[in-house]
A and B are shown apart, each in its own frame.
Chain A
Amino acid sequence: MARLTLTINGEVRSAEVAPGAFLAEVLRETFGLTGTKIGCNEAECGICTVLVDGVPVNSCIYPALKANGAHVQTVEGLAQNGQLHPLQQAFIEHGAVQCGFCTPGLLMTAKALLDQNPNPSEDDIKHALKDTYCRCTGYVSVISAIRDAAARLRGEPPIPPALPHTREPLRFVGRPLPRPDAVAKVTGAAKYTDDYVFPNMLHGATLRAGIPHARIKRIDTSKAKALPGVVAVLTHEDVPGSKNHGLVYEDWPVLCYDKVRYVGDAVAIVAAETREIAEQAIKLIEVEYEPLPVVDDPVAALAPDAPKVHEQGNLLKHIHVEKGDIEQGFAEADVIVEGEYQTATTEHAFLEPECSIGRVTEDGRIEVYVGSQIPYADRRQVAKSLGVPEEQVRIVGTLIGGGFGGKEDIAGQIHAALLAKVTGRPVKMLYRRSESLIFHPKRHAVKFKVKVGAKRDGTLTAMRIELWGDTGAYASLGDKVMTRAATHASGPYEVPHVKIDCYAVYTNNVPAGAFRGFGVTQSAFAIESAIDELAHRLGISPIEIRRKNALRIGSVTNTGAVIRESVGLLECIERVEQALKAEGTPWVFRKPEQPNKVYAWGFAAAYKNTGLGGGAPDRSEVEVEAFEDGTAEVRTSAAEIGQGLVGVLASIAAEELGVPYENVRVLLSDTDRTPDGGPTTASRQTFVTGNAARLASVKLRERLAAVAAEMLDVPVEALRFEDGYVRYNGKAVRLAEVVRQAHAEGISTRLSHLYEAPKTQPLGTGGDMHFAFSYAAQAALVEVDLETGEVNCLKVISATDVGRAINPLALQGQIEGGIVMCLGNALTEEFIQEKGVPYTNRFARYKMPSIRHTPQITSFIVEDPTAEGPYGAKGVGEISSIPTTPAITNAIFAATGVRVRKLPVDQDALLRAMRVP
């Protein structure tokens, strides 16, 4: 150990540290300053940025001893005397805080910039923040927040955020209210799972298979158990309950017993006094494998002689969608285009790696602290594998540093619980980025065969589409994702004759599951490319062909549903078309000062279901309580993954109860204290849990109204709940007093409501497979370097039909973030595997969009309300992340004549294709 003395945020601190320790660890663990986050341990993501003697550095690989004698500034030191720094204030007001995990890094990098440059241009900001990643915002709000803060620091008037035009707001609903958790997130006070420390806590580590397919012959843990500091080493023999887990199919071993089916499979787990010892112990476990042949392609996996990943065969599910008569449809066509498309496996790259803490309570129950998208599913799976009743398990949701679908499956929850149960001590199971990358389910790579027929005027007559989705070693949500991919594969169009066959197939690749867009991101690339090709062949504009075929009132979808309301697609198309006209550039153009570049626009449309659909019961329960101090609390187990659910629920409760927004607390995801809000998936929370919160609040208001009516001696119907008062003509009583009175009368001011979304129909049975759809249209402007094949996306014009904007600020953040994520899907992102072995085993090998990729985004909100939605709202989480990819690839076609058939766009292949005469 060596002595380290440094000044942190103005305060001299000193400690003995290990010579190998890095600054981030020391700040977090030795000094308890957990505002500094660790995202990658490889100086790639920048979220661990702190200032050492005024200079921003990646503290995750900055030797702690190198900071000896230095002045270190962390996010905790930004606010002075309880006063937020202008950067913090601006981040909140511009919505530049979503999941909040990268926020400290962004703030500190921006602080260093403004210290040097009080008036940075957008380019300066992009230069300075180039390597500080954010996965939620898409950076647009980050840029505007920094410019605003710079103005404030210069003593100039603030530059407010540019918000989209939306409908006239109600009292709270429809207003750009700041997130309730924003202050905690900008000050570093916000706690994510790894920020929790329990006395006497052990640290866990997991032995991963390391090979994609093998039979386990022998596991010997004796050397690991003998290592001093090791408290427990567990294998499948130590799993008391169900040996498998799974959200839909229980096919995923808690700890592998007969075979390993992918590199990231868990074989053994260790709990030790320190993380280093646990990791060392893992290396001492001997496993003898008999390697088995590897299958890494979904089409190859369907061959009769393909290696079997699971005994029952490699086909997880065949999904069939049929409407009309496909032969007749193609016979009626004047032109037919055919093409094959392929999308890449992609990685969520949420900046917070998975972490679970297991703990046994004094009364012998098991608690798991985790940032999960489906707390009640965690509870069920943990209980089942531990062999205890569900009531014996409590899932305590912490803040979540991004999810995007990647935190729906079990990660370390069962392992942490098991180790805690065996050792009787709290156990933290934190994944390093390298482990997170090879372990958790990805976006499905999908192969497509697409055949589309149309009349000369562009009217679609038929679509025949085949899809093969690589679901990897375990089902995860593979059949659901591929069902969504299949049912959305014909695009947001009315097509009289459709036949779709989709295969979700097991391979020895990393499993694939939920990822924002849920299969539709993949389908949209294929079908929107084909529609573009069709327009080109027919000499019709890409906008016109979409307008002609767009779903509208009375349309029948490919699954036989009749669209009866809330279909804003035509309006979306028109909004983007008008904005394109206002741009005033031709569809394809050159600039004299850039002779080696060509510029072109591309267009795409999309739709996405809200809610689970397909006949699955879609429920959410919310509890609302009013207190004697005039505040209220909303409780449900639903995940806040950055999307802004806490703000949505708070504004809905405030709206219905007539209390100030600040007086509403939202408690999420504690299975002992919050009822089940259902999974945070399928863009469903605003609709389903939003409705539950609304109806629970209405019920509570009615209960309180009865009390207030007596207190005021007025008729109950005429009461108004506003500003924390209940009013009638000139009379008023404070809500707090009404609550006190209710309690005095023995009336509870706590109640819950279980909301059930409208019933849907299973695929193949006709009727409504979904209760609502969101729609979008986007145009993208690209710049292609004809000499190098390099592609940049410069502008995106977007219009999104969300039914109703509950919070325009949060909504804008969702849309911008979705666009930039989908831009990454087009241009940068690929999780590379070679015969089942991830080449992408660190962040340096996975490029997600940085602030430098952020295009200029113009975003229009279309509000075509859905009758059942809260205030007309429907899902927004996924829709914006669907059309950007094809808009970009269609623009590349317009620019170069090269049709992109494989994602991501590869400048190497593009340049070579351009050179083919």
Chain B
Amino acid sequence: MREAYLIPETLEEATALLARYQGRARVVGGGTDYFVDEAHNGAPVLIDVTRLRGLREIREEHGYVFIGCGVTHAQIAASALLQQSGTALVEACGQIGGPQVRNVATLAGNIAHALPAADGTLALLALGGEIQVAWHAEGELRAEWWPLARAFKGPGQSAVDSTRQIIAAMRFKPTGAGEASAFARVMRPQGVALPIMGVAARLKFDAEGRIEAAAIATGPAGPVPFRAVQTEAFLIGRMLDEATLDEAAQVLLGEVHVRTSPHRATAAYRRAVLPVLLRRALTQCATRAQRTLAIHER
């Protein structure tokens, strides 16, 4: 039986509440995953963190794009700032659920759910995202920034203890001139409503059109969202031509471990579409990066 549903107004208040309930309370965002999963829906007290002051918006801050924990997928999908500086996130969050879910579901909640193929998570990972973890200790608010990858322990298992800690915000460095991000995925129309495979990429090109920096995230390719570091390394210094795309796909296939998951996809299918998604994401990055240069020159 639920004893309380609390909606604090500040982060300080929220962390203090968690501390006060000593494990009997847990954090909830939009609740679109949480309330559906009856097995995990047992916390006596819920602390809703979608109304915290200063954490309901997307803004530029200290050279980062900052996304508060109350920000919904709908806000992200409609954000002009993100469209320009983190397109992959806009694409990923715009595809999740329908409007009713996007209007309440938060990116912080998506990360807290720790699924290895969560769209928003993959996009933020490729963007080089960080999360701010906040808690209450010795009577005061503590907070620190973690690299996003540190948030995941296993499928559905978060390193952030939601009975003690709050993912207060997310941030990443905006894409600049010659740089862009993209997200591509395949869904299955039957069975369970989860993506079969997703790829997010962030590429930076130098003046000659060579890849200067690359970040690629994919999933499900293991227990946690996967950063394709070998593929990233392979891409550095290369032009994004047909040969590079083909070879990059081979590198990616060499470094991921995809599985057959019942009622979702076979490993063979995942291996067949992974190169397609990589190609779609990378060529999108190139097209968009080109556009940033064109805008720049003008």
**Which of B100, B191, B276 touches A56 (beta carbons < 8 Å)?**
B100
The reply on A732 being an interface residue by CB < 8 A is no
Contact A109:B100 (CB < 8 A) given known A787-B276, A912-B269: yes
User: What is the CB-to-nearest-CB distance from A830 to chain B, in angstroms, rounded to a whole number?
Assistant: 5
The reply on A847 being an interface residue by CB < 8 A is yes
User: What is the CB-to-nearest-CB distance from A705 to chain B, in angstroms, rounded to a whole number?
Assistant: 57
The reply on A263 being an interface residue by CB < 8 A is no
- The distance in angstroms between the C-alpha atoms of A370 and B262, with both chains bound, is 38
Which residues on A are within 8 Å of B, measured CB to CB?
Answer: 2, 18-20, 22, 42-44, 46, 49, 55-58, 61-63, 65-66, 68, 109, 112, 127-132, 787-790, 827-830, 832, 839, 842, 844-845, 847, 904, 906-908, 911-912, 915
- The distance in angstroms between the C-alpha atoms of A127 and B99, with both chains bound, is 8
CB-based contact B191/A847 at 8 Å: yes
The reply on B140 being an interface residue by CB < 8 A is no
CB-based contact A844/B193 at 8 Å: yes
Residues of chain A within 8 A (CB-CB) of B139 are none
Interface residues of B, dominant DSSP: loop
User: What is the CB-to-nearest-CB distance from A796 to chain B, in angstroms, rounded to a whole number?
Assistant: 17
The reply on B10 being an interface residue by CB < 8 A is no
- Select the stretch in B31-39, B121-129, B214-222 that faces chain A: B31-39
Residues of chain B within 8 A (CB-CB) of A906 are 190
Which residues on B are within 8 Å of A, measured CB to CB?
Answer: 1-5, 7, 31-32, 35-36, 46, 48, 50, 74, 97-101, 103-104, 186, 188-193, 196, 262-263, 265-266, 268-269, 272-273, 276
User: What is the CB-to-nearest-CB distance from B109 to chain A, in angstroms, rounded to a whole number?
Assistant: 13
Contact A112:B276 (CB < 8 A) given known A66-B7, A828-B189: no
User: What is the CB-to-nearest-CB distance from B157 to chain A, in angstroms, rounded to a whole number?
Assistant: 20
CB-based contact B273/A911 at 8 Å: yes
Residues of chain B within 8 A (CB-CB) of A57 are 100, 103-104
- The distance in angstroms between the C-alpha atoms of A693 and B24, with both chains bound, is 64
User: What is the CB-to-nearest-CB distance from A63 to chain B, in angstroms, rounded to a whole number?
Assistant: 5
A58, A907, A908, most chain B CB atoms within 10 A: A908
CB-based contact A908/B263 at 8 Å: no
CB-based contact B5/A61 at 8 Å: no
**Which of A55, A129, A904, A911 touches B103 (beta carbons < 8 Å)?**
A55
CB-based contact A787/B273 at 8 Å: yes
User: What is the CB-to-nearest-CB distance from A22 to chain B, in angstroms, rounded to a whole number?
Assistant: 8
CB-based contact B104/A20 at 8 Å: no
Known: A61-B31, A131-B100, A788-B186. 16 other contacts (CB 8 A): A20-B5, A43-B100, A57-B104, A58-B32, A63-B5, A65-B7, A131-B99, A787-B273, A787-B276, A788-B276, A828-B190, A829-B190, A847-B191, A847-B193, A907-B188, A908-B269
13 contacting pairs across A/B (C-beta < 8 A): A43-B101, A55-B74, A55-B103, A58-B32, A66-B5, A66-B50, A112-B99, A845-B192, A904-B189, A908-B188, A911-B273, A912-B266, A912-B272
Contact A61:B190 (CB < 8 A) given known A46-B98, A131-B101, A915-B272: no
- The distance in angstroms between the C-alpha atoms of A845 and B192, with both chains bound, is 4
CB-based contact B190/A904 at 8 Å: yes
Contact A131:B192 (CB < 8 A) given known A63-B48, A839-B263, A912-B269: no
- The distance in angstroms between the C-alpha atoms of A787 and B100, with both chains bound, is 31
- The distance in angstroms between the C-alpha atoms of A829 and B189, with both chains bound, is 8
**Which of B2, B99, B196, B273 touches A109 (beta carbons < 8 Å)?**
B99
Contact A58:B100 (CB < 8 A) given known A844-B192, A847-B189, A911-B269: yes
CB-based contact B36/A19 at 8 Å: no
**Which of B2, B100, B192, B193 touches A19 (beta carbons < 8 Å)?**
B2
**Which of B32, B98, B193, B263 touches A61 (beta carbons < 8 Å)?**
B32
CB-based contact B99/A61 at 8 Å: no
- The distance in angstroms between the C-alpha atoms of A66 and B51, with both chains bound, is 10
User: What is the CB-to-nearest-CB distance from A208 to chain B, in angstroms, rounded to a whole number?
Assistant: 15
- The distance in angstroms between the C-alpha atoms of A847 and B187, with both chains bound, is 12
